Structure 1
Amino acid sequence: MAPERESGTRERTPTGATAATRPRTPRLDQPRPPRRRILPEWDPEAFGRLSEKIARFLGTGRFIVWMTVVIILWVLWNVTVPAVLRFDQYPFIFLTLALSLQASYAAPLILLAQNRQDDRDRVNLEQDRKQNERSIADTEYLTREIAALRTGLGEVATRDWMRSELQDLMRDLEERWRSDGHDGHVVFPAERSERSTGRDTDDR
């Protein structure tokens, strides 16, 4: 007999509308699609460089001179020209608002520039510290090498030391020679050969 078929045990793949509503599992072999961002993207490094340029300009005398000239012209224009042409009459509320806006933007830009400068100083200090450590290690190594060379040179036999040792040896030999009952000084083989050669030349 044929085996009985089991009913309701197999899962069927949904098709049609059911397949469309089924959530898709993200695949691991493909990168995720980029998310949509509401805020615009910008380069932090470029923005930091721009903030440093602005902060440097705000800290120069040129900016103070230009700001003073603009304020004086602003006040003179709104005081001396006819009332129809004045755009910011006394007490100069629009000028006060502009200066407040400029100060509110200048303070964060200056702080951002200071933070970047602090980061650079921290990196420079770390590099200087490592360089100093390497210099100290090299200096200690050279000091040890020089001390070893001095110790080695102190153990090397010099010319003066050899001369003094030979003189002491000659004195000891002469004392032994005299203690044996001989007169005169000790005659070495080299002196004997010199004397013999001298006699031969005299005989000739």
Structure 2
Amino acid sequence: MAERTQERDRDRDRERERALPRIRLDQPRVRRPRLLPEYDPEAFGRLSERIARFLGTGRFLVWMTLTVVVWIGWNVFVPSSLRFDEYPFIFLTLALSLQASYAAPLILLAQNRQDDRDRVNLEQDRKQNERSIADTEYLTREIAALRMGLGEVATRDWMRSELQDLLKDLESRDGERRDGRRQGERRDLFPPEGHGRSDVPDR
């Protein structure tokens, strides 16, 4: 009985493993189909920047003015059978409001992208400034160390002054030796009593 129940449990486990999909961690997950359409946010952002840039030019104002003038002129001066938007120009008002409702979010999106770029540029400038400050401090410390080291190095003028002092000292000593020799010769000619004698008797 126990063996049969164990076999049944094993069969159930095998059926469960077959029924459940096996999840493998060494492979990427299969993307689920999305109901909403997918789009490239970068491409859409670039398109919005182009549109916003065009909306801020004089060319857009000229074309907009010409379109409104032609629209109104056509619906006022053309015969009634050819008019498509008579006074009070409801279709023109709807078109302008629709254009404004799309232009505002596009301009905001372009401004947000520009703000992101400015933020990145400011961060890069800040890091560059920090590196420049660190390099400047390092160079300042190196220059100070070089100055301190140069203070201990013998310069040409210092060597000249030292050699001149040594030369003067040698000349003065040489003069003193000459004077000493002369005085010694005189002393040798007339030695004083007891000079050169030692207390120890000769053997």
Q: What TM-score comes out, normalization by structure 1 length?
A: 0.76
Deviations 1:135-168 (A, max 9, x none): 1111111222222222222211112111211222
Aligned counterparts of 2:60 and 2:94: Cα–Cα separation in 1: 19
Aligned counterparts of 2:29 and 2:18: Cα–Cα separation in 1: 16
Question: How far 1:132 moved relative to its partner?
Answer: 1.1
Whether 2:5 is the aligned partner of 1:9: answer yes
Q: In the alignment, what sits opposite 2:189?
A: none
Report the secondary structure of 2:80's partner residue.
coil
Task: Give the direction of change, closer, same or farther, for the CA distance of 1:157–1:26 in structure 2 (3 Å limit).
Answer: same
Q: 2:20 aligns with which of 17, 25, 35?
A: 25
Q: 1:52 aligns with which of 37, 44, 49?
A: 49
Aligned counterparts of 1:32 and 1:131: Cα–Cα separation in 2: 41
Letter in 2 for 1:50: L
Alignment: residue pair count: 174
Question: How far 1:178 moved relative to its partner?
Answer: 4.6
Aligned counterparts of 1:41 and 1:28: Cα–Cα separation in 2: 26
Q: Which has the higher contact order (CA 8 A, sep 6+)?
A: 2
Q: Kindly report the root-mean-square deviation, in angstroms, between the aligned alpha carbons of the 2 structures.
A: 2.5
Aligned counterparts of 2:111 and 2:2: Cα–Cα separation in 1: 76
Aligned counterparts of 1:32 and 1:146: Cα–Cα separation in 2: 59
Whether 2:105 is the aligned partner of 1:108: answer yes
Q: 2:92 aligns with which of 90, 95, 109?
A: 95
Aligned counterparts of 1:153 and 1:102: Cα–Cα separation in 2: 74
Report the secondary structure of 1:90's partner residue.
coil
What are the ranges of 5 or more consecutive residues in structure 1 without an aligned counterpart? 184-204
Aligned counterparts of 1:31 and 1:133: Cα–Cα separation in 2: 41
Q: In the alignment, what sits opposite 1:157?
A: 154
Q: In the alignment, what sits opposite 1:197?
A: none
Q: 1:68 aligns with which of 65, 68, 73?
A: 65
What are the ranges of 5 or more consecutive residues in structure 2 without an aligned counterpart? 181-203
Aligned counterparts of 1:39 and 1:23: Cα–Cα separation in 2: 32
Q: What TM-score comes out, normalization by structure 2 length?
A: 0.76
Looking at secondary structure, tell me which structure has more helix per residue. 2
Letter in 1 for 2:128: Q
